[in-house]
Structure 1
Amino acid sequence: MSSVATSVTRAEGFKPPSPGDFNLPPIGPDKTFEWLGETHYLGVTKPMIQLVLVAGIVFIFFWAASRKRAMVPSRLQYVGEQGYGFVRNSMGRDIIGSQDFLKYTPYLFALFFFILINNFLGSIPFFQFPTFSRSGLVYSLALMSWIIYNAVGIKKHGFGGYMKLMCVPSGVSPVMYPLLVPLEFMSNILVRPVTLALRLFANMFAGHMLLILFALGGQYLIFEMAGAYSVVGVVAWLLFILISFLELLIQFLQAYVFVLLNAMYIQGSLADEH
């Protein structure tokens, strides 16, 4: 067999990563069901455990940081205060406004660090799986956010007043209402939680998929294809390292954007005009 044919045969043995790689099996009894042509698992999975673990980490860390407050803060207290101040000022006060932001700061604060650490798990050895690369988990967060900012608006303006605020743009002729009101309703009431979730999910999913591709592809080229392909494999591994650092930035930015949009939606619900 020629060398070209041998290389083609070896290349056919490489199994590229797929969305199925994110459907992790449960820890414990293995129960499955078929849906949309794919096998899905029932039971406690790794992402579920990560959610509970991160919730515990966030609570314990900031409880420990605030337990012994002092005028001259310890390093732990300093880190906790800086983290709280970052969310309080840049996403609470500056977006929602100085009059109303304090009551929503605890939610924004907990949400930010919960998402951030779950995102970082995709880059931490042993875990190496971003929790929110599973869409169902992200939609749950988006649903909670949707309930909160709509409840805030209804509480302040009443149901009718809130729907008017969200669906009827000010300064527009009533002649345009039949066209604009359905669009505003779709955009502000129905589509917001979907786009909020998709932005976080898609970035975590795509970034992790890219890392898997470069890591496994480089390994296959070096150890299975050999020869000149090894050089390409080394390049793939170098790209894997560079993308890993870029992914850390993206993981932070996606947590920031998710919480920033939550603050903007709350501010819009509290505003007197749309």
Structure 2
Amino acid sequence: MIQLAAGGGETYEAPGTYEFWQPLIGDGAFALTRSMVVFAVVAVMISVVLLRITSNLRVVPGKAQFLVEGTYGMVRNGLARDIIGAEKFKPFLPLLFALFTVVLVNNLLGVFPLITFPTFSRIGYAIVLTAVVYVTYHGVWIKKMGVVGWLKSFVPSGLPAWIVPFMWLLEFMTYVITRPLTLALRLFGNMFAGHFMLLIFTFGGEYLLFHGSGFLPAAGALAYAFTLVMYAFEVVVQFLQAYVFVLLTCVYIAGAVADEH
């Protein structure tokens, strides 16, 4: 972030979007990137941890089992059962638990030392997860009502005939375009912005502290101190984004399986 100026001095270059493109092998569309490695490591790590814990369950749980059971209980009872309904949530529980753990662990690695890279700051990963949710709740909806019934369900009954085309178009745009778009952008935007802010405060504080003059080193020290606050705040945001992603997924699935359709 710090470059030598033409006159021999040092200047500060603010971090840019290139910080999020970190190819390890190759370049272009088929490059092996840092985010791909992080996502693969998270997938293996979650699988190994869950397999080890579930293969050796104890009546009195240890710390790891207690943490996994607490997370599972929150997704099962606090989200899936309460939102989708006690009679209909169980088929979707594995998906919801997987979504929550994958999003949360990938997010938390954004503040983990030596990694500090949230995978979902790359929009492609958020789009893929959203596509899974999109196919799930629309697939359930179409299976229940058929394609014709699915198309008809976008318009509430009892409306005047002249307003039906406008209402159908509005509802179709909401369910088919707006919902998946906002679900992906919400996760991506929060992870991108949070990581970008951490980069600015970290490297900006470093430049002011070690290369500033007058009161600038004090400002750099203050920026470094505020970075610690930002890290704590980012952890809260990372958890909330995982929670909100699964919460909205439950809301969408609940609408697809609702009896009133």
Give the structure-1-normalised TM-score: 0.88
- Please tell me whether the aligned partners of residues 132 and 200 of structure 1 are also in contact (alpha carbons under 8 angstroms): yes
Q: Indicate how the Cα distance of structure 1 residues 214 and 158 shifts in structure 2: closer, same or farther if over 3 A, else same.
A: same
- Please give the per-residue CA displacement for 1:219-267, whole angstroms capped at 9, x wherever unaligned: 1111112321111111111111111100000000001001111111111
- Please tell me whether the aligned partners of residues 66 and 80 of structure 1 are also in contact (alpha carbons under 8 angstroms): no
Q: Indicate how the Cα distance of structure 1 residues 170 and 211 shifts in structure 2: closer, same or farther if over 3 A, else same.
A: farther
**1:31 corresponds to which letter in structure 2?**
D
Residue of structure 1 aligned with 2:77, choices 76, 89, 96: 89
Matched residues in 1 for 2:250 and 2:130: separation?
13
Q: Indicate how the Cα distance of structure 1 residues 174 and 272 shifts in structure 2: closer, same or farther if over 3 A, else same.
A: farther
What percentage of aligned pairs have identical amino acids? 41
Task: Describe the SS at the equivalent of 2:60.
Answer: coil
State yes or no: 1:186 paired with 2:179. no
Q: Which residue of 2 aligns with 1:264?
A: 251
Q: Which residue of 2 aligns with 1:238?
A: 225
Deviation (angstroms), 1:169: 2.6
Q: Which residue of 2 aligns with 1:201?
A: 188
Q: Indicate how the Cα distance of structure 1 residues 226 and 56 shifts in structure 2: closer, same or farther if over 3 A, else same.
A: same
Where does structure 2 lack aligned partners over 5 or more consecutive residues?
1-6
Q: Which residue of 2 aligns with 1:16?
A: 14
- Please tell me whether the aligned partners of residues 21 and 33 of structure 2 are also in contact (alpha carbons under 8 angstroms): no
- Please tell me whether the aligned partners of residues 214 and 236 of structure 1 are also in contact (alpha carbons under 8 angstroms): yes
- Please give the per-residue CA displacement for 1:48-90, whole angstroms capped at 9, x wherever unaligned: 0111111111111122221122333333322221111111111
Deviation (angstroms), 1:170: 4.1
Residue of structure 1 aligned with 2:204, choices 210, 217, 239: 217
Query: Over aligned residues, Cα RMSD in angstroms?
Result: 1.8
Q: Which residue of 2 aligns with 1:150?
A: 138
Q: Which residue of 1 aligns with 2:96?
A: 108
Residue of structure 2 aligned with 1:127, choices 115, 140, 147: 115
Deviation (angstroms), 1:121: 0.6
Q: Indicate how the Cα distance of structure 1 residues 158 and 251 shifts in structure 2: closer, same or farther if over 3 A, else same.
A: same
**Count of matched residue pairs:** 255
Name which of structure 1's ranges 42-51 and 248-257 shifts more when overlaid on structure 2.
42-51
Deviation (angstroms), 1:162: 1.8
Give the structure-2-normalised TM-score: 0.92
Matched residues in 2 for 1:215 and 1:10: separation?
24
- Please tell me whether the aligned partners of residues 17 and 212 of structure 1 are also in contact (alpha carbons under 8 angstroms): yes
Q: Which residue of 2 aligns with 1:65?
A: 53
Matched residues in 1 for 2:63 and 2:232: separation?
26
Task: Describe the SS at the equivalent of 1:13.
Answer: strand
Deviation (angstroms), 1:159: 1.3
State yes or no: 1:138 paired with 2:134. no
**1:136 corresponds to which letter in structure 2?**
G
Q: Which residue of 2 aligns with 1:36?
A: none
